[in-house]
Amino acid sequence: SSALSIRQLTKTYSNGFQALKGIDLDVAEGDFFALLGPNGAGKSTTIGILSSLVNKSGGTVSVFGHDLDRDPAGLKRCLGVVPQEFNFNQFEKIFDILVTQAGYYGILPKVARERAEYYLHQLGLWDKRDEASRMLSGGMKRRLMIARALIHHPRLLILDEPTAGVDIELRRSMWNFLIELNRQGITIILTTHYLEEAEQLCRNIGIIDHGRIVENTSMRELLKQL
Ligand code: ADP
Ligand code: ADP
Protein backbone atom coordinates (compact mmCIF):
# COMPACT_ATOMS: atom_id res chain seq x y z
CA SER A 1 0.00 0.00 0.00
CA SER A 2 1.00 3.62 -0.45
CA ALA A 3 2.42 5.67 2.43
CA LEU A 4 2.65 8.92 0.49
CA SER A 5 1.10 9.91 -2.79
CA ILE A 6 1.66 13.34 -4.33
CA ARG A 7 0.09 14.41 -7.63
CA GLN A 8 0.83 17.55 -9.63
CA LEU A 9 1.79 19.49 -6.52
CA THR A 10 2.50 23.15 -7.18
CA LYS A 11 3.52 26.07 -4.98
CA THR A 12 3.84 29.68 -5.98
CA TYR A 13 4.87 31.91 -3.07
CA SER A 14 3.16 35.25 -2.65
CA ASN A 15 6.12 37.05 -4.24
CA GLY A 16 5.36 35.10 -7.43
CA PHE A 17 8.21 32.61 -7.10
CA GLN A 18 7.25 29.13 -8.34
CA ALA A 19 8.93 26.77 -5.88
CA LEU A 20 7.11 23.58 -6.98
CA LYS A 21 6.18 23.07 -10.63
CA GLY A 22 4.07 19.89 -10.56
CA ILE A 23 5.56 17.24 -8.29
CA ASP A 24 4.47 13.58 -8.60
CA LEU A 25 5.79 11.23 -5.97
CA ASP A 26 4.84 7.82 -4.55
CA VAL A 27 6.43 6.23 -1.52
CA ALA A 28 5.40 2.69 -0.59
CA GLU A 29 4.65 1.54 2.93
CA GLY A 30 7.83 0.32 4.65
CA ASP A 31 10.17 2.19 2.33
CA PHE A 32 13.19 4.24 3.39
CA PHE A 33 13.10 7.02 0.82
CA ALA A 34 15.46 9.92 0.12
CA LEU A 35 14.38 13.19 -1.43
CA LEU A 36 17.70 14.49 -2.68
CA GLY A 37 18.31 17.89 -4.19
CA PRO A 38 20.44 21.02 -4.00
CA ASN A 39 19.58 24.01 -1.82
CA GLY A 40 16.54 25.80 -3.14
CA ALA A 41 15.18 22.76 -5.01
CA GLY A 42 11.86 22.71 -3.11
CA LYS A 43 12.44 20.04 -0.43
CA SER A 44 11.41 22.17 2.56
CA THR A 45 8.47 23.59 0.65
CA THR A 46 7.21 20.05 0.01
CA ILE A 47 7.59 19.13 3.69
CA GLY A 48 6.01 22.42 4.73
CA ILE A 49 2.93 21.53 2.69
CA LEU A 50 2.73 18.06 4.26
CA SER A 51 2.90 19.55 7.74
CA SER A 52 0.32 22.26 6.91
CA LEU A 53 2.83 25.06 7.49
CA VAL A 54 2.77 26.07 3.82
CA ASN A 55 -0.40 26.27 1.70
CA LYS A 56 -0.12 24.46 -1.59
CA SER A 57 -1.20 26.23 -4.77
CA GLY A 58 -2.45 23.11 -6.57
CA GLY A 59 -2.37 19.34 -6.72
CA THR A 60 -3.14 16.62 -4.20
CA VAL A 61 -1.32 15.01 -1.29
CA SER A 62 -2.34 11.94 0.67
CA VAL A 63 -0.74 9.95 3.47
CA PHE A 64 -1.96 6.37 3.92
CA GLY A 65 -5.05 7.34 1.94
CA HIS A 66 -5.84 10.42 4.05
CA ASP A 67 -6.19 13.36 1.69
CA LEU A 68 -4.71 16.65 2.90
CA ASP A 69 -7.77 18.63 1.77
CA ARG A 70 -10.54 16.22 2.77
CA ASP A 71 -9.09 14.60 5.88
CA PRO A 72 -6.30 16.75 7.34
CA ALA A 73 -6.82 15.33 10.85
CA GLY A 74 -6.47 11.76 9.58
CA LEU A 75 -3.32 12.71 7.71
CA LYS A 76 -1.86 14.40 10.77
CA ARG A 77 -2.40 11.31 12.95
CA CYS A 78 -0.27 9.04 10.79
CA LEU A 79 2.49 11.54 10.03
CA GLY A 80 5.47 12.68 12.12
CA VAL A 81 7.65 15.53 10.84
CA VAL A 82 11.10 16.56 12.01
CA PRO A 83 11.66 20.09 10.71
CA GLN A 84 15.06 21.65 10.11
CA GLU A 85 14.73 24.52 12.50
CA PHE A 86 14.20 24.20 16.25
CA ASN A 87 10.73 25.36 17.16
CA PHE A 88 10.35 24.46 20.82
CA ASN A 89 9.18 26.46 23.74
CA GLN A 90 12.74 27.21 24.86
CA PHE A 91 11.83 27.36 28.54
CA GLU A 92 9.78 24.17 28.80
CA LYS A 93 11.52 21.11 30.25
CA ILE A 94 12.20 18.52 27.61
CA PHE A 95 10.15 15.79 29.32
CA ASP A 96 7.21 18.22 29.40
CA ILE A 97 7.68 19.14 25.72
CA LEU A 98 7.02 15.51 24.81
CA VAL A 99 4.03 15.14 27.14
CA THR A 100 2.54 18.40 25.82
CA GLN A 101 2.97 17.21 22.24
CA ALA A 102 1.24 13.90 23.05
CA GLY A 103 -1.66 15.89 24.47
CA TYR A 104 -2.25 17.48 21.05
CA TYR A 105 -3.04 13.98 19.79
CA GLY A 106 -5.38 13.14 22.65
CA ILE A 107 -2.96 10.63 24.16
CA LEU A 108 -3.70 9.96 27.84
CA PRO A 109 -1.18 11.53 30.24
CA LYS A 110 -0.07 8.19 31.68
CA VAL A 111 0.66 6.79 28.22
CA ALA A 112 2.29 10.07 27.23
CA ARG A 113 4.68 9.88 30.18
CA GLU A 114 5.60 6.27 29.38
CA ARG A 115 6.30 7.13 25.77
CA ALA A 116 8.30 10.24 26.71
CA GLU A 117 10.45 8.12 29.01
CA TYR A 118 10.93 5.47 26.32
CA TYR A 119 12.01 7.88 23.58
CA LEU A 120 14.24 9.94 25.88
CA HIS A 121 16.06 6.71 26.79
CA GLN A 122 16.21 5.60 23.16
CA LEU A 123 17.68 8.90 22.03
CA GLY A 124 20.12 9.32 24.91
CA LEU A 125 18.33 12.30 26.48
CA TRP A 126 16.97 10.77 29.67
CA ASP A 127 19.61 12.51 31.82
CA LYS A 128 18.47 15.86 30.41
CA ARG A 129 14.74 15.31 31.02
CA ASP A 130 14.40 18.17 33.53
CA GLU A 131 16.38 20.73 31.55
CA ALA A 132 14.87 23.50 29.49
CA SER A 133 15.34 22.88 25.78
CA ARG A 134 17.38 26.07 25.39
CA MET A 135 20.11 24.38 27.47
CA LEU A 136 20.58 21.56 24.95
CA SER A 137 23.30 21.35 22.33
CA GLY A 138 22.36 21.40 18.65
CA GLY A 139 22.64 17.61 18.34
CA MET A 140 20.47 17.10 21.43
CA LYS A 141 17.81 19.47 20.09
CA ARG A 142 17.71 17.48 16.88
CA ARG A 143 17.23 14.23 18.80
CA LEU A 144 14.51 15.87 20.86
CA MET A 145 12.72 16.85 17.65
CA ILE A 146 12.84 13.21 16.56
CA ALA A 147 11.39 12.06 19.89
CA ARG A 148 8.63 14.67 19.61
CA ALA A 149 7.78 13.55 16.06
CA LEU A 150 7.44 9.93 17.23
CA ILE A 151 5.35 10.46 20.35
CA HIS A 152 2.02 9.71 18.62
CA HIS A 153 3.45 6.62 16.87
CA PRO A 154 3.17 7.85 13.27
CA ARG A 155 3.32 5.31 10.43
CA LEU A 156 5.28 7.77 8.26
CA LEU A 157 8.21 9.81 9.58
CA ILE A 158 9.58 12.65 7.46
CA LEU A 159 12.85 14.31 8.39
CA ASP A 160 14.13 17.52 6.78
CA GLU A 161 17.94 17.34 6.56
CA PRO A 162 18.15 15.42 9.86
CA THR A 163 21.93 15.41 10.16
CA ALA A 164 22.81 18.85 8.78
CA GLY A 165 25.50 20.31 11.03
CA VAL A 166 25.70 17.15 13.15
CA ASP A 167 29.15 15.67 13.84
CA ILE A 168 30.10 12.33 12.33
CA GLU A 169 29.73 10.28 15.52
CA LEU A 170 26.23 11.53 16.28
CA ARG A 171 25.32 11.23 12.60
CA ARG A 172 26.15 7.52 12.71
CA SER A 173 24.10 6.94 15.84
CA MET A 174 21.14 8.85 14.34
CA TRP A 175 21.44 6.74 11.19
CA ASN A 176 21.36 3.55 13.26
CA PHE A 177 18.33 4.77 15.16
CA LEU A 178 16.48 5.50 11.91
CA ILE A 179 17.44 2.14 10.40
CA GLU A 180 16.03 0.40 13.47
CA LEU A 181 12.77 2.42 13.29
CA ASN A 182 12.40 1.43 9.64
CA ARG A 183 12.98 -2.24 10.57
CA GLN A 184 10.12 -1.91 13.03
CA GLY A 185 7.90 -0.97 10.10
CA ILE A 186 7.86 2.82 10.10
CA THR A 187 8.08 4.31 6.61
CA ILE A 188 10.80 6.97 6.51
CA ILE A 189 11.41 9.83 4.09
CA LEU A 190 14.34 12.12 4.57
CA THR A 191 15.55 15.08 2.59
CA THR A 192 19.22 15.58 2.09
CA HIS A 193 21.60 17.33 -0.26
CA TYR A 194 24.16 14.76 0.65
CA LEU A 195 24.32 11.66 -1.56
CA GLU A 196 26.30 9.60 0.95
CA GLU A 197 23.50 9.88 3.50
CA ALA A 198 20.95 8.69 0.94
CA GLU A 199 23.29 5.89 -0.12
CA GLN A 200 23.84 4.66 3.43
CA LEU A 201 20.19 4.63 4.42
CA CYS A 202 17.71 4.63 1.60
CA ARG A 203 16.26 2.04 -0.76
CA ASN A 204 14.56 4.45 -3.13
CA ILE A 205 15.28 7.99 -4.13
CA GLY A 206 13.64 10.97 -5.75
CA ILE A 207 15.82 13.75 -7.07
CA ILE A 208 14.29 17.21 -7.02
CA ASP A 209 15.67 20.23 -8.81
CA HIS A 210 14.10 23.64 -9.47
CA GLY A 211 10.72 22.42 -8.23
CA ARG A 212 10.60 19.31 -10.41
CA ILE A 213 11.25 15.61 -9.78
CA VAL A 214 13.99 14.86 -12.27
CA GLU A 215 14.63 11.24 -11.25
CA ASN A 216 12.71 8.63 -9.24
CA THR A 217 14.41 5.27 -8.94
CA SER A 218 15.97 2.74 -6.61
CA MET A 219 19.24 3.63 -4.91
CA ARG A 220 20.83 0.61 -6.60
CA GLU A 221 19.86 1.79 -10.10
CA LEU A 222 21.03 5.31 -9.38
CA LEU A 223 24.45 4.12 -8.19
CA LYS A 224 24.85 2.06 -11.39
CA GLN A 225 24.33 5.22 -13.45
CA LEU A 226 26.96 7.26 -11.58
P1 ADP B 1 2.77 31.97 1.37
O2 ADP B 1 2.91 32.20 -0.11
O3 ADP B 1 2.72 30.50 1.71
O4 ADP B 1 1.68 32.79 1.99
P5 ADP B 1 4.77 33.94 1.96
O6 ADP B 1 5.30 34.19 0.58
O7 ADP B 1 3.79 34.91 2.50
O8 ADP B 1 4.14 32.47 2.03
O9 ADP B 1 6.04 33.83 2.91
C10 ADP B 1 5.99 33.24 4.19
C11 ADP B 1 7.21 33.68 4.97
O12 ADP B 1 8.44 33.25 4.34
C13 ADP B 1 7.31 35.18 5.06
O14 ADP B 1 7.59 35.49 6.41
C15 ADP B 1 8.47 35.54 4.16
O16 ADP B 1 9.15 36.67 4.65
C17 ADP B 1 9.36 34.33 4.24
N18 ADP B 1 10.21 34.25 3.01
C19 ADP B 1 10.14 35.05 1.93
N20 ADP B 1 11.03 34.72 0.98
C21 ADP B 1 11.69 33.64 1.45
C22 ADP B 1 12.71 32.79 0.93
N23 ADP B 1 13.27 32.99 -0.29
N24 ADP B 1 13.12 31.75 1.67
C25 ADP B 1 12.57 31.52 2.86
N26 ADP B 1 11.60 32.28 3.43
C27 ADP B 1 11.17 33.33 2.74
P1 ADP C 1 15.17 23.35 -0.27
O2 ADP C 1 14.52 22.87 0.99
O3 ADP C 1 15.25 22.30 -1.32
O4 ADP C 1 16.47 24.03 -0.02
P5 ADP C 1 13.02 25.31 -0.30
O6 ADP C 1 11.75 24.55 -0.44
O7 ADP C 1 13.40 25.82 1.04
O8 ADP C 1 14.21 24.45 -0.92
O9 ADP C 1 12.97 26.56 -1.28
C10 ADP C 1 12.63 26.43 -2.65
C11 ADP C 1 12.70 27.81 -3.28
O12 ADP C 1 11.60 28.59 -2.82
C13 ADP C 1 13.97 28.58 -2.97
O14 ADP C 1 14.35 29.29 -4.13
C15 ADP C 1 13.53 29.52 -1.87
O16 ADP C 1 14.28 30.71 -1.87
C17 ADP C 1 12.08 29.81 -2.26
N18 ADP C 1 11.24 30.15 -1.10
C19 ADP C 1 11.11 29.43 0.04
N20 ADP C 1 10.24 30.01 0.87
C21 ADP C 1 9.80 31.11 0.24
C22 ADP C 1 8.87 32.15 0.56
N23 ADP C 1 8.22 32.14 1.72
N24 ADP C 1 8.69 33.13 -0.33
C25 ADP C 1 9.33 33.13 -1.50
N26 ADP C 1 10.21 32.20 -1.89
C27 ADP C 1 10.45 31.20 -1.03
Give the pLDDT confidence of 2-38 residue by residue, as tens digits.
999 999 999 999 999 999 999 999 999 999 999 999 9
Phi, psi of 79 (to 5 degrees): -120, 135
> What's the Cα-to-Cα distance from 36 to each of 23, 84, 101, 116, rounded to whole Å?
14, 15, 29, 31
Q: Whose C-alpha lies nearest to ligand 1, atom 7?
A: 14
Edge-first strand order for the sheet with 79-82 is 79-82, 156-160, 187-192, 32-36, 204-209, 212-218
- Using a cut of 0.90, tell me whether the model's pTM lies above it: yes
Ligand 2 nearest atom to the CA of residue 11, by list position: 12
Alpha-carbon gap, residue 46 to 56, rounded angstroms: 9
Residue identifier of the C-alpha nearest atom 15 of ligand 2: 40
**Ligand 2, atom 23: nearest CA belongs to which residue?**
13
Pocket perturbation via mutation, ligand 2, pick of 10, 11, 13 by most ligand atoms within 8 A of CB: 13
3-class DSSP assignment, residue 36: strand
Per-residue pLDDT for 166 more than 90?
no
Q: What is the mean pLDDT of the segment spanning 111-132? A: 97
ipTM over 0.95: no
Distance CA 101, CA 106 (A): 9
To test the ligand 1 pocket, which listed residue (10, 13, 20) has its Cβ within 8 A of the most ligand atoms?
13
**d(C-alpha 117, C-alpha 185), whole Å:** 21
Mean pLDDT of 80-90: 90
